Structure 1
Amino acid sequence: MARFLILLTLVFASALHARQVDVQNVGASESEVARLQSQVEPAFSHVKTQTGVDDQLDLQLVVVGGSRSFAELAARDGVGMHAESVLGYAQPGRRRIVLNLSGIRDRQLEPIGVLRHEIAHLVMGSALRVERPLWFEEGVAQYVESVALNELREAAGASPWLDFDNLADLDQALREEARAGAAYIEAREVIRLIVERFGESRFFKLMKRLESGDGPFEKAFEDVTGDSVATFENAWLEDRAGRAGERYAGFFGRNFWWLLLGLTALIIPLALVLARMRGKTQIDQWEETEKYFPSDPSWSYTDDEPAGYTPEDPDAWKQ
């Protein structure tokens, strides 16, 4: 009986602390909204698995189906950049996430990845008590998103390879619409390098340090990893240079036959044009020679055939 009461108490306490999710549908299909709603708790669990940080606070999820409705909503919420380029946004202070299904569909991305991304922002905004650079914030959200389909779509989209002078430049690029696409992808690579270089356990330790409020960010980073941000920045630039070489090599490898076909398509017409020009030049030379040295059959050869010679009977003249 005592065990039953304890179990009942735990279940009741769990129900009291269960996250309340208020879902608002703004012109989206019911099936899409239901699918996203079912993935809210798995997304929070995924964020905790990837970062070691979690929260149990309530959430308001707004799913917008049309681009115009999303633009109007984003404008009211003061979201920067053009709304059509934004796939979603999180407002940690209001415990609110807004998703742009129209933009997500246009880019052929997986909505669950975007949901994870915004929940990561929500968790960091609620849990982390140290101010951190934008490249770290967005990089962690991109790293958490980690949907293979979305990353393949990004690669297929042929995002331009942009140069970033340093982490401060990457931070600024995330705020500029023209460079934001490449900057978001690169921010994810920065976090991946942190995890690869220092290990996942130190990355988790850094997140916990930021959660505890023991800052500033640069000091927390150096205390946990052993590298200053400046030292890591140099390592990132070296890593990026290596990835740039791989990117170019991969491009030529993937497109070798297309490049060869294109080169052939250029060479053949050029060869024909050159051949025609060469033939025309030869004719011009002949005409120039004819002008100064005209041909005259009467002196160009000597008729030494005997009288009475015919090709049909070459010996007739002897008779």
Structure 2
Amino acid sequence: MKRLLLVLLALAMWAVPAFASPRLELAARNGRVTVYAEAGLEDTARELADSAEATLTRISGDLISLPKPKQIEVRLVRHARDLAGVAPAGRGAPAWAIGVAYPDLGVISVAMRRGAQLVEPAATLRHELAHVALGAALGDRAPHWLHEGFAYQHSAEWSWQRAETLAGMAWFGSVIPLEQLDGSFPREELPAHRAYAESYDFVGFLSRRGRWEDKSDDGDRWPFRRFLTEIGRGSDPDAAARTAFGRTLQQLFDEWKLDLGARYMMMPVGLFGLALWILAAILLVLAFLRRRGQNRRRIAQWDLEESARRERQSAVVQPPPYVPWPGEDPLDEDPEDRPPAGPRLPN
């Protein structure tokens, strides 16, 4: 029994390094951003550090006169499964995440891959930097949907799967009510897709809307920026919406639902029209190929007919060439058949 326990203990000690957190070392520093990375990721760490400051400057354009993050620590790992291991003590990370931000601590964790899927760490970092910047500006007053939508605005990570999710929500009327949206971000990946997609699209709508309902009045993002500023100054999101947009948050949400329906309910019509164009193009190509095949067969038939005609001509017996007889030509006219010569005139 004692020997068995020793064997199990040895196996456990051997297995521990496989699950231990990766060792991170200082790899790059630029301005407010410091990057710690696993060995071998130094080049990527330097690229992230060099681009992070410019990203923070762009993000701050939406957070005018609000506090900015002073220092940001980025932790770069190879595999997403290690994100929880490098997270701040007691915080952890979702099992399906490729990047996690801890705005209250100014810490960001970024993975290079998730399973067999390679990801672009620069895009992930832009998303998480927006979380940290918004957290520094608004504190804990920003709802979850605003955090996610704002981060999407500054990462431009378009997803076909997200577009499908939004289309399904528009077609089947499965939009999550605004008052339930913040509680719709479970730790499981698939149920959270609808909440993320809705947050991204709603905040994008707010950033484009302008002060008035007129779609041509984009306001140069001014109303959206004022909306964030009002929250940063202590207003609740609904009061901030009335100040910046002249509408309550629920009224803006209802406008967004109409906009969502207008965009995605017409998608089947657009896809049907596109399908007709594609079908017409395919038919034209098939007609062209058919006509070209007919022309080739016709030319081949003409070639066969020409070859047959030449063969028939070559089969006809040709007489030998005429050769004059030596001396008197036997084919010449008989002298008796010649007409008599006329009288000769005297000289």
Q: Considering the TM-score relative to the shorter chain, is it more than 0.5?
A: yes
SS in 2 for 1:172: coil
User: Deviation string for 1:254-299 (max 9, x for gaps)?
Assistant: 5669999xxxxxxxxxxxxxxxxxxxxxxxxxxxxxxxxxxxxxxx
Could you say which residue in structure 1 is the equivalent of 2:141?
A: 131
Give the direction of change, closer, same or farther, for the CA distance of 1:182–1:60 in structure 2 (3 Å limit). same
Higher relative contact order (CA 8 A, sep 6+): 1
1:40 is the counterpart of 2:58 = no
- CA contact under 8 A between 2:104 and 2:136: conserved in structure 1? yes
Give the direction of change, closer, same or farther, for the CA distance of 1:235–1:44 in structure 2 (3 Å limit). same
Instruction: Give the CA RMSD over aligned residues.
Output: 3.0
Q: Which amino acid aligns with 1:223?
A: T
User: Deviation string for 1:189-239 (max 9, x for gaps)?
Assistant: 2122112222311111111222222x1221122122110112112111111
Could you say which residue in structure 2 is the equivalent of 1:96?
A: 107
The alpha-carbon deviation at position 159 of structure 1 amounts to 4.0
Structure 1 Cα separation of the partners of residues 238 and 70 of structure 2: 29
User: Deviation string for 1:17-56 (max 9, x for gaps)?
Assistant: x844321113563222221111110110121134445625
The alpha-carbon deviation at position 68 of structure 1 amounts to 2.8
1:62 is the counterpart of 2:67 = no
Unaligned 5+ runs, structure 1: 1-17, 261-319
Could you say which residue in structure 2 is the equivalent of 1:114?
A: 124
- CA contact under 8 A between 2:72 and 2:106: conserved in structure 1? yes
1:145 is the counterpart of 2:155 = yes
Could you say which residue in structure 2 is the equivalent of 1:207?
A: 228
Give the direction of change, closer, same or farther, for the CA distance of 1:67–1:254 in structure 2 (3 Å limit). farther
Give the direction of change, closer, same or farther, for the CA distance of 1:94–1:71 in structure 2 (3 Å limit). closer
- CA contact under 8 A between 2:227 and 2:240: conserved in structure 1? yes
- Identify which of 78, 101, 107 aligns with 2:91: 78
User: Deviation string for 1:94-128 (max 9, x for gaps)?
Assistant: 2111112213982x553222211111111111121
Structure 2 Cα separation of the partners of residues 168 and 48 of structure 1: 28
1:183 is the counterpart of 2:191 = no
Structure 1 Cα separation of the partners of residues 56 and 47 of structure 2: 15
Q: Which amino acid aligns with 2:160?
A: A
The total of aligned residue pairs comes to 234
When the two structures are superposed, what TM-score results if normalisation uses the length of structure 2? 0.59
Structure 1 Cα separation of the partners of residues 162 and 107 of structure 2: 30
- CA contact under 8 A between 1:25 and 1:63: conserved in structure 2? yes
- Identify which of 24, 29, 36 aligns with 1:24: 36
Q: Where in structure 2 are the equivalents of 1:149-228 lying within 5 Å? A: 150-151=157-158, 154-155=159-160, 159-160=164-165, 161-162=168-169, 163-175=174-186, 177=188, 178-198=190-210, 199=219, 200-213=221-234, 215-228=235-248
Structure 2 Cα separation of the partners of residues 76 and 41 of structure 1: 26
- CA contact under 8 A between 1:22 and 1:60: conserved in structure 2? yes
Give the direction of change, closer, same or farther, for the CA distance of 1:57–1:131 in structure 2 (3 Å limit). same
When the two structures are superposed, what TM-score results if normalisation uses the length of structure 1? 0.64
SS in 2 for 1:70: helix
The structure that has the greater radius of gyration is 2
Which stretch shows the higher mean deviation, 93-102 or 184-193?
184-193
Give the direction of change, closer, same or farther, for the CA distance of 1:115–1:30 in structure 2 (3 Å limit). same
- CA contact under 8 A between 1:64 and 1:70: conserved in structure 2? yes
Structure 1 Cα separation of the partners of residues 38 and 90 of structure 2: 15
Q: Which amino acid aligns with 2:80?
A: S
